[in-house]
Homo-oligomer: A and B are copies of this chain.
């Protein structure tokens, strides 16, 4: 297993506004979301998944994503992205001014069915249409979220060869469009050496100019920070995290959110790896997010006496 030297910087993609807010059963007021996003930007967050363009019937918590995008239209230096499951979502996102489309396909057939209600073959067909649309809008780019890249709640462990098959098909469609590929540990069940192995195998097979690699993880099994660091040691240049570790599911005890941004930040800064984010201001944002009604958080750093965090 070849390990790369630690990089000098890492991009953290803040996903609390998407993966986190959608986990709160009762819809948050848009103004509360806006306040939290503002606090995140104040802390220096440079990339932020602001929401998703999906059916408001399926996920009512995300119905105000367009409004939020417009509210932050005056922050062109921040890279905002939005998750979409289909062409309609991509079109809405682009109309509202989003320039990074996060298209999601689950590697596991059953999870893709449950998540976006179509087969992976149909998701790939739809990706073709999304790409055509993205190509038409100057300055827009694509991120591919490969859900259940390590484990599926229905099928169990997913092999890197299964990821490779979907990824190969997707890359044939994407061509030279600037791309970020995210291997997503949707369930948090991946282990660090598994993450290292999948990044090594897949990057070796799909090395190409203009492609970056990202890791999206959850801390459910306590592997969150370690998985992210192993992904980074094996080529990921961006990692998704959620401030305060907001997430989980009120109906699934033990399920937790994405790895807390502040926890990973602490690990990275301790190694001299920069992120552009100010930890103490981020902890202020974390306190604000943790105070949201109905939210479930999981942050280690927030529990530590503040004067010990530096």
Contacts and interface: CB of A to CB of B under 8 A. Distances in A.
A192 B163 CA distance: 29
A267 interface: yes
A136 interface: no
B272 A6 contact: no
A194 interface: yes
Interface string A221-242: 1111110011001000000000
21 contacts: A1-B6, A187-B308, A191-B271, A192-B226, A192-B229, A192-B267, A192-B271, A219-B300, A220-B304, A221-B263, A222-B260, A222-B266, A222-B300, A223-B266, A223-B267, A225-B225, A225-B226, A226-B226, A226-B229, A253-B303, A254-B304
A280 to B, nearest CB: 15
User: What interface size band does chain A fall in?
Assistant: 35 or more
**This chain's copy number in the assembly:** 2
Given A226-B229, A254-B305, A270-B194, A221 B300 contact: yes
A193 interface: yes
A224 B254 CA distance: 19
A189 interface: yes
B301 A222 contact: yes
A125 interface: no
Contact of A3 (B3, B190, B266, B269): B3
A5 interface: yes
A232 B266 CA distance: 20
A272 B193 contact: yes
Interface core residue of A3, A192, A299 (most chain B CB under 10 Å): A192
A151 B224 CA distance: 23
A267 B1 contact: no
Contacts of A230: 229
Contacts of A5: 1
Contacts of A270: 190-194
A77 B191 CA distance: 31
A267 B191 contact: yes
